[in-house]
Amino acid sequence: MEERIELLIEIADPEKDSFVHLVLEAGLSKEQIDKILDLMDKVREEINAGKPVSHHQFESEIYEIVPLKYGDYHFAEAIISTLKETGRYEDV
């Protein structure tokens, strides 16, 4: 199974969908991916409602979803940037 994941990472073109490449590389489960997308929806709603959004709170929630990335703020930033690159959540 691990060899297949490594192969998928190699063939996944980060130029086409950098978010897919990121989640494959991080070994995230479908449940984790769904929770991240739910969090992004929540953040989008807060922004659209004119509420302030805390970077620290966002990172904390990412670490709850993906405990292995705890303290890796680059990972939290990569989630946002890769989703923007693919045309999703451009307003977040």
Q: In the chain, where are the structural domains located?
A: 2-85
pLDDT at residue number 13 = 62
Report whether pLDDT(8) > 60: yes
Crossing angle of the two packed helices 55-65 and 73-85, in degrees rounded to 10: 100
Q: What are the distances in angstroms from CA 4 to CA 12, 15, 23?
A: 12, 21, 14
DSSP 68: G
Mean pLDDT of all residues in 46-61: 94
pLDDT at residue number 20 = 85
Tokens 């969090």, residue? 39
User: Mind listing the pLDDT tens digit for each residue in 10-20?
Assistant: 566 666 678 88
pTM given for the model: 0.82
Q: Residue type at 35?
A: K
22, 45 Cβ separation under 8 angstroms:
no
